[in-house]
């Protein structure tokens, strides 16, 4: 009597333990983000709670006409295919319909999917009338395995649609280690797990679809920026890449001030989205400012207008000379005429020099000296020309002189304010979105890449202590990409040594995070990035 009671107690305890395991697996499945790991956890959990030696998980193909092998495990043969194994299953899909259109009921996995029922087979070799196990017997012949008991469970989502099939092979008695039939308890547990797993898988697939849809919308924004200005589209793609490179290097660091920083898969996704959206506010920036390749560029480069004015001045000079020559007629004075033409040629040569100087000044690639600025203003005011209204006017108007006197780059202070406003627009746009909890930091990460460690950045003047590590990482990525980019309209991409020299200066003067800079250098991120995105002639640092 006592032996029966003990056995019953052990059975109940075993069942409770398996139920607890089932609950634990269900909770784990709901947290997992990676589809392959979700599928693997489903199969491993089913094998564990039913003590199965092997198992296969099938998923319904997108067209709903076949079952596709996703994962295959057989412990005694040390077989592991699909999932995270890195080894593809390689078996052909199982069609649910035969060529004549009839249900493919001869194959047990197809039967379970077609009819939505669980099939529990004590011995496959004795099921010759119901199912075709020729493939199973062939596998056994090749491997020396003996496929015996089968438990095949359909996986239904919350709408009742079959999304896959879970098949378990050879239930092992925990005490005797002999193959036995899957019990009713095994079947109930497997069906419960399949139900939970199907919902978890459906939810994960739905989340993946929503994430893909969201990323597609992000891509649309970047495409709009790219179409608006081809000079920023590459930036919107390269900064996220460099950001993730540096973030992974920081996460891998096990010493120093950033040793405690680590990234989960959710953290990586959040930072990736922030990187993709870090310049979304540029969609509000006027094209003529974003694409301002030269100082006089608006909708077109106004240097052509100034070239025309020089041609007018040269023509006027030549006309004056010719009139002076005509005034000498009928008296012939060769020396005087020669002097007139020489003076005219000298004036035209000087005008050509001034035209070339203004063309060079218009490029904006180098810093303007005080002497250069004074020269622009002298040219702009010393010449008079008759404008389209027939009025004598200064050679350069105030706007043209202000632009040509820009000390560095091609933007005036007002235009730079317009450019800088893109980060304000980015923050406003991102803060308007109802971010889910796992993406709640996107506005802060994306909106902080123009801040400085010393609080002199914009738009909020944050200090290092007020910023997340992710925002500081993105700041370095944004600067380095901009320095080395080869697709800007106003400059050539810097050589690696020059860009790293500027970053070194930025580290010393409080512009960027010094600890992140050290990791950027010591981990060789700049080399990896350079090989992937820069031109060979830029790679002058080993």
> pLDDT tens-digit profile of 273-304?
999 999 888 888 777 776 777 778 777 778 88
DSSP string, 402-429: HHHT-SSSS--HHHHHHHHHHHHHHHHH
DSSP E strands in 138-215: the ranges are 150-156, 162-172, 179-180
pLDDT score for 5: 46
Nearest to 103 by CA among 92, 85, 115: 115
Residue 295 within any structural domain of the chain = no
| Structure tokens, 155 | 């996986």
Residues 6 and 151 in one domain: yes
Residue 119 belongs to what H/E stretch?
Answer: strand 119-121
Q: Count of CB atoms within 10 A of residue 32's CB?
A: 18
Structure confidence at residue 2 (pLDDT): 42
Of 410, 433, 466, the residue that ends a domain is 410
As for how many domains the chain has, the answer is: 3
* 183 and 270 share one domain: no
Do residues 456 and 367 both lie within one domain? no
N-term to C-term CA, the chain: 81
The mean-pLDDT minimum among 48-62, 226-240, 421-435 falls in: 226-240
Query: Is position 224 within any domain?
Result: no
Go through the chain and tell me how many residues it has. 542
Looking at the fold, whether 170 and 79 belong to one and the same domain comes out as yes
- Does residue 158 form part of some domain? yes
Whether residue 116 is found in the same domain as residue 201: yes
Please indicate, yes or no, whether the overall pTM of this predicted structure exceeds 0.75: no
Strand partners, 68: 59
Alpha carbon distance 51, 118 (integer Å)? 18
How far apart CA 401 and CA 395 sit, in angstroms, is 10
Q: Which of 207, 238, 257 corresponds to the end of one domain?
A: 207
Do 451 and 400 have their domain in common?
A: no
Q: State whether 52 and 197 are in the same domain.
A: yes
The reply to whether 119 and 138 lie within a common domain is yes
Nearest-angstrom CA–CA distance, 263 and 248 = 8
Range of the domain at 344: 303-410
The pLDDT value recorded for residue 233 is: 55
- Residue 468 and residue 398 share a domain: no
Q: Is residue 80 part of a domain?
A: yes
Find the CATH number of the domain harbouring 441. Answer: 1.10.3210.10
Per-residue pLDDT for 12 more than 60?
no
Higher pLDDT, 476 or 189: 476
Do 143 and 157 contact (CB within 8 A), yes or no? Answer: no
Residues 490, 352 within the same domain: no
> Is residue 218 a part of any domain in this protein?
no
Q: Which of 223-232, 386-395, 452-461, 506-515 has the lowest mean pLDDT?
A: 223-232
Choose one of 176, 207, 238: the last residue of a domain.
Answer: 207
Q: Distance between CA atoms of 256 and 250, rounded to whole angstroms?
A: 10
What does the pLDDT average to over 391-398? 85
Q: What is the CATH number of the domain that holds 172?
A: 3.30.450.40
Q: What is the pLDDT of residue 492?
A: 67
* The two three-digit tokens of residue 372, written as one number: 């250069």
Q: Is 143 domain-assigned?
A: yes
Same domain, yes or no, for 280 and 374? no
Residue 6 pLDDT exceeds 60: no
Same-domain check for residues 427 and 447: yes
**Position 377 pLDDT exceeds 80:** yes
List, as own/partner pairs, every contact residues 357-361 make where C-beta atoms lie below 8 angstroms and the sequence separation is at least 24, other chains included.
358/303, 358/306, 358/404, 359/303, 359/307, 361/295, 361/404
Instruction: Say if 220 falls within a structural domain.
Output: no
105 domain residue, yes or no = yes
């Amino acid at each position: 009597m006592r032996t029966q009671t003990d056995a019953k107690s052990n059975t109940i305890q075993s069942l409770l333990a398996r139920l607890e395991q089932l609950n634990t697996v269900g909770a784990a499945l709901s947290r997992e983000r990676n589809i392959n790991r979700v599928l693997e956890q489903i199969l491993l959990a089913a094998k564990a709670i039913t003590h199965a030696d092997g198992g296969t998980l099938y998923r319904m193909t997108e067209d709903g006409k076949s079952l596709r092998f996703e994962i295959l495990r057989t412990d005694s043969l040390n077989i592991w295919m699909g999932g995270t194994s890195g080894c593809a299953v390689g078996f052909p899909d199982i069609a649910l319909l035969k060529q004549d259109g009839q249900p493919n009921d001869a194959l047990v996995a197809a039967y379970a999917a077609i009819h939505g029922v669980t099939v529990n087979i004590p011995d496959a070799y004795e099921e010759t009338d119901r199912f075709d196990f020729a493939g199973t017997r062939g596998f056994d012949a090749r491997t020396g395995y003996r496929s015996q008991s089968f438990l095949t469970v359909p996986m239904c989502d919350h709408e009742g649609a079959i999304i896959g099939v879970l098949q378990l092979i050879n239930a092992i008695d925990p005490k005797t280690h002999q193959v036995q039939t899957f019990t009713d308890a095994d079947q109930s547990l497997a069906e419960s797990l399949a139900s939970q797993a199907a919902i978890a898988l459906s939810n994960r697939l739905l989340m993946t679809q929503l994430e893909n849809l969201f990323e597609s919308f992000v891509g649309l924004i970047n495409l709009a920026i790219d179409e608006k200005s081809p000079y920023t589209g590459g930036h919107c793609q390269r900064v996220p890449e460099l950001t993730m490179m540096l973030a992974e290097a920081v996460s891998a660091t096990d010493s120093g001030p950033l040793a405690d920083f680590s990234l989960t898969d959710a953290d990586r996704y959040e930072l990736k989205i922030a990187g993709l959206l870090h310049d979304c506010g540029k969609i509000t920036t006027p094209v003529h400012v974003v694409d301002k390749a030269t100082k006089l560029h608006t909708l077109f480069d106004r240097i052509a207008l100034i070239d025309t004015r020089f041609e007018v001045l040269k023509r006027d000079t030549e006309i004056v000379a010719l009139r002076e020559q005509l005034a000498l007629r009928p008296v012939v004075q060769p020396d005087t005429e020669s002097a007139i033409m020489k003076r005219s040629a000298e004036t035209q040569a000087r005008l050509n020099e001034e035209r070339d100087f203004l063309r060079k000044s218009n490029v904006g690639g180098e810093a303007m000296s005080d002497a250069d600025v004074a020269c622009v203003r002298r040219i702009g005011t010393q010449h008079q020309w008759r404008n389209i209204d027939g009025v004598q006017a200064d050679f350069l108007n105030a706007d043209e002189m202000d632009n040509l006197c820009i000390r560095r780059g091609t933007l005036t202070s007002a235009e730079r304010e317009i450019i800088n406003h893109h980060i304000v627009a980015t923050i406003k746009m991102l803060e308007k979105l109802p971010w889910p909890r796992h993406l709640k930091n996107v506005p802060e990460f994306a909106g902080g890449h123009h801040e400085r460690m010393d609080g002199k950045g914009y738009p909020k003047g944050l200090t290092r202590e007020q910023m997340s590590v992710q925002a500081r990482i993105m700041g370095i990525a944004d600067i380095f990409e901009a320095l080395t980019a080869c697709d800007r309209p106003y400059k050539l991409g810097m050589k690696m040594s020059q860009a790293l020299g500027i970053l070194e200066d930025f580290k010393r003067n409080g512009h960027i995070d010094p600890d992140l800079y050290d990791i950027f250098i010591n981990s060789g991120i700049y080399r990896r990035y350079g090989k992937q995105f820069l031109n060979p002639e830029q790679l002058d640092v080993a």
